[in-house]
Amino acid sequence: MQFTTLTPVNVLTGFLGSGKTTLLNRWVRQASMRNTLVVINEFGDIGLDHLLITQSDEQTVVEMSSGCLCCTLRGDLSRTLQQAIDALLAEGKPAPSRVVIETTGLADPAPILHLLMTDHWLAHRFQLDSVVCCVDAVNGEATLQAHRESQRQVAVADRLLITKTDLADEERLSYLANQLASINPAAEQWQVQNGNLSPDLLVGAGLYRGASQEYQVEGWLKSASYQLHYAMGHQHATSQQSAITPTPVTPSRQPTLTRHGENISAFCFCIEELITPEALENWLDLLMSLMGEKMLRIKAVVHLTDREEPLALHGVQHIFHPPAPLPNHSVSDRISRFVFITQNVAPSTVAELYRFFTSSTSPAITPTNEAT
């Protein structure tokens, strides 16, 4: 895969009214957003958000309305990008060096990520850089309880932005931060008031960083952030560090979020033995076919029996990126690490299915906090 030639794409998501447009409006005025193509997906026949964005000569803002990108307009994303880029080139302007897609507030971002991975035209030109999700400090808690889409937006995010912090007290902020960390422990949390946050945090959340596309495996996987941390294979020291949170609000570990009987679990498996490619494929295939919808996010660095270099895997629900070989020096050991965010799937189920394909003699998994 030619990562150096692919244009980074950032997906800005968050529930209705969570502050996405306010943030974007600030960002498009920043120098680091020069030469960025902003795509705003609006729901309804008359989209307004794009009118609220202050546009400069150095950015292009295009609107996609009349439907939600995640359900009805999939073909339109490539068409919109293609037309916008053609128009730029026709005006003698350079092709964009970055694309930011603002989703509708009701969108489950997973289908958009799938599109970036699977659409032929898109996959050869663009690469997902990060998913940034706005969560309203006041309404966020209730929204998470009431709306599955909101949970899914949080689950796939690399960065969580708690917005409207001027309207919430410390106690509420702290509770929300914990709730967010219980869904997605590895996502950095930032607090934002009136969109006042540098767009630089869009960059560098993915596996590849900067123009040189160097690897940052630890920063990408953040397996140590996961509270439910299981060792398989030989007994392995578990790690239970706190989530990385550069904000004053430090999540202090809450149980998993439960909504109408739906439990979201975030957990990590470490597998010390080398895994055969067949076992890996069968395990993941079965997980995806039985419960793909419920596997909100999977990331892994895997060591296989038939190759020296590790592989990075990145899946959203039932779709995986093609495995990306990593240089040996990008990891410090030969332990495979999988991080999962699941909905109504217990860690023990995932582990049992692994054992089924490996006949592993691993010690029984004894979760300290089985969540589902």
Residue 304 phi, psi dihedral angles, 5° rounding: -105, 160
- Residue 191-230 contact track with ligand GTP, rule CB under 6 A, x = bound: --xx------------------------------------
The encoded tokens of residue 125 equal 């030109």
Near ligand GTP by CB under 6 A: residue from 13, 22, 65, 151: 22
Residue 97 phi, psi dihedral angles, 5° rounding: -95, -5
The least CB distance from residue 17 to ligand GTP, in Å, is: 4
The least CB distance from residue 101 to ligand GTP, in Å, is: 13
Residue 5 phi, psi dihedral angles, 5° rounding: -100, 0
CA-only gyration radius of the chain, Å = 20
CA 180 to CA 189: how far, in whole Å?
A: 9
Q: How many residues bind ligand GTP (CB under 6 A)?
A: 17
Q: Does 50 bind ligand GTP (CB under 6 A)?
A: no
334 touches 274 (CB < 8 A): yes
Segment contacting ligand GTP by CB under 6 A, of 20-28, 209-217, 278-286, 300-308: 20-28
Near ligand GTP by CB under 6 A: residue from 16, 146, 244, 353: 16
* Angle between helix 74-90 and 110-118 (nearest 10): 60
Near ligand GTP by CB under 6 A: residue from 50, 98, 152, 164: 164
Q: Say which DSSP state 15 is in.
A: S
Instruction: Find, among 178, 186, 114, 112, the residue nearest to 155 by Cα.
Output: 186
The least CB distance from residue 116 to ligand GTP, in Å, is: 21
Q: Which C-beta is closer to ligand GTP: that of 22 or that of 36?
A: 22
* Alpha-carbon distance values, 287 to 149, 281, 284, 313, 366 (Å): 22, 10, 5, 14, 21
Segment contacting ligand GTP by CB under 6 A, of 12-20, 54-62, 71-79, 108-116: 12-20
Q: Does 67 bind ligand GTP (CB under 6 A)?
A: no
* Alpha-carbon distance values, 130 to 8, 35, 187, 268 (Å): 8, 18, 11, 21
Q: Is 152 exposed, middle or buried (0-12, 13-18, 19+ CB in 10 A)?
A: buried
The least CB distance from residue 30 to ligand GTP, in Å, is: 16
Segment contacting ligand GTP by CB under 6 A, of 14-22, 152-160, 259-267, 330-338: 14-22
- Residue 130-159 contact track with ligand GTP, rule CB under 6 A, x = bound: ----x-------------------------
Near ligand GTP by CB under 6 A: residue from 7, 17, 67, 172: 17
Q: Which C-beta is closer to ligand GTP: that of 164 or that of 297?
A: 164
Q: Does 245 bind ligand GTP (CB under 6 A)?
A: no
Q: Does 20 bind ligand GTP (CB under 6 A)?
A: yes
Longest Cα separation, the chain = 64
148 touches 344 (CB < 8 A): no
Residue 282 phi, psi dihedral angles, 5° rounding: -65, -40
Q: Does 109 bind ligand GTP (CB under 6 A)?
A: no
Site for ligand GTP, rule CB under 6 A: 14, 16-22, 49, 105, 134, 163-164, 166-167, 193-194
